[in-house]
Amino acid sequence: MAAKTLTIDGKHVSVDESATILDAAVDAGIYIPTLCHLDGVYDVGACRLCLVEVAGSSKLLPACTTKVSEGMEIQTDTERLRQYRRITLEQLFAERNHVCSVCVANGHCELQTLAYRQGMDHVRYDYRFPQWEVDSTHSLFGLDHNRCILCTRCVRVCWHIEGAGTLNVSGRGAQARIITDLNQPWGTSDTCTKCGKCVMACPTGALFYKGATVGEMERDRTKLEFIVTAREKKQWIAD
C-alpha cells in the first residue's frame, strides 16, 4: 500500500492511495459537508455539497468520489464554495415541502443541521409546494416524499447491504421519486425484508418508523456499521 501526500486547507495530510479526498479530510479532522455520502455504501456524487477546489483543476471536484493524488492542493472552505453550498441547500428546501416544526426528524435531521452549519437563515427562491403523497402501507415504516431529497442512500443500502433491491428511483428531473418494487405500495412488496436499513440511512424525515411523532425520529446507524465492518473486514464486532 503506497501512501500519497497532499495538502487540505494548508494542512499536510498523508493517506493511502486508494483514499478519496473525503477520506483524507476525515482522517485529518477537516470537515467537508456531505449529504448523499453514507459510510459503508458506494458514493454517487449527487448532492454536490462536498465539492472542493483543487489547484490545477478548472472544475470543482466532489470530495466523495475523487481519488487523492500526490501533491494535490485542496481548498474545502472558500467563499465561492460556501456560496454554492448555501444555494444548493436553499434549493433543496424550496424543492419539496420541508416543514421542520412538524417533522419526525426535527432536531435529528442532516439537512437541517447542514443548513444551520452553513448559515442558511432563509430561502431566497420561490417554494415549489409540490403535491406529494405519503406511503404508509408498510406495517413498520412510512415513506413521505415531501421530505425526500433524493440522496438515494436508502436505494443503495437496500441493494448493496441488504441485497433486497426493493427501493429504486423512478421518473426524472423534479418528478424523480423513490419507489418500491415496480411502483407498488410498499406494504404489498414481496421483496422488502423489513430490515429497516433504509430508515437508518435516511438523512431527513422521509423514511420513518411508524408511530414516531415530531422530533422523535432518531437514527441508529450502528447496525449498518456492524454489517459493513463484518463484510469488509470480516470482524464481527459491535460497540
Partner 1 sequence: MDIEDLVEIAEKERASRKKHVIRCCLAAGCMASDSKGVKEALDKAVQEAGLQDQVEVRGVGCMKLCCQGPLVQVDTHESGATVQVGDDNQGPLYLKVTPESAPSLIATLTGGQTSLQRGNPKAPFFTEQAPIVLANSGIVDPERIESYIAAEGYQALHDVLREMTPKEVVDTMIASGLRGRGGAGYPTGLKWATVAKTPSQQKYIICNGDEGDPGAFMDRSVLESDPHCVLEGMAIAAYAVGANQGFIYVRAEYPLAISRLQTAIKQAKKLGLLGSGIFESPFTFNIDLRIGAGAFVCGEETALMASVEGLRGSPRPRPPFPAESGLWSWPTLINNVETFANVAPIMRKGAEWFASIGTEKCKGTKVFALAGKITNTGLIEVPMGTPLRKIVEVLGGGAPDGGRIKAVQTGGPSGGCIAAEELDTPVDYDSLAKLGSIMGSGGMIVMDEATQMVDVARFFMEFCMDESCGKCVPCRTGTVQMHSLLKKILAREATARDLQKLEELCDMVRHTSLCGLGQTAPNPILSTLRFFRNEYTALLKDDVHNGRNKNHPAPEPAPAPAAGPATGS
Least Cβ distance, residue 30 to partner 1 (angstroms):
20
CB nearer to partner 1: give 124 or 233. Answer: 124
Least Cβ distance, residue 152 to partner 1 (angstroms):
8
CB nearer to partner 1: give 45 or 107. Answer: 45
List interacting residues with partner 1 (CB under 8 A): 44-49, 51, 58-60, 62, 65-67, 83-84, 87-88, 91-92, 94-95, 124-126, 128, 149-150, 152, 168-169, 171-176
Grid coordinates in use for 201? 440511512
CB nearer to partner 1: give 102 or 174. Answer: 174
DSSP string, 48-78: -TTEEEETT-SS-EETTTPBP-TT-EEESS-
CB nearer to partner 1: give 176 or 230. Answer: 176
Provide the 10 A C-beta neighbour count for residue 225: 16
Provide the 10 A C-beta neighbour count for residue 164: 17
DSSP string, 194-218: ---HHHHH-SSSSEEETT--TT---
Least Cβ distance, residue 48 to partner 1 (angstroms):
5
Spatial CB neighbours of 113, under 8 Å, sequence gap ≥ 6:
none
Least Cβ distance, residue 149 to partner 1 (angstroms):
8
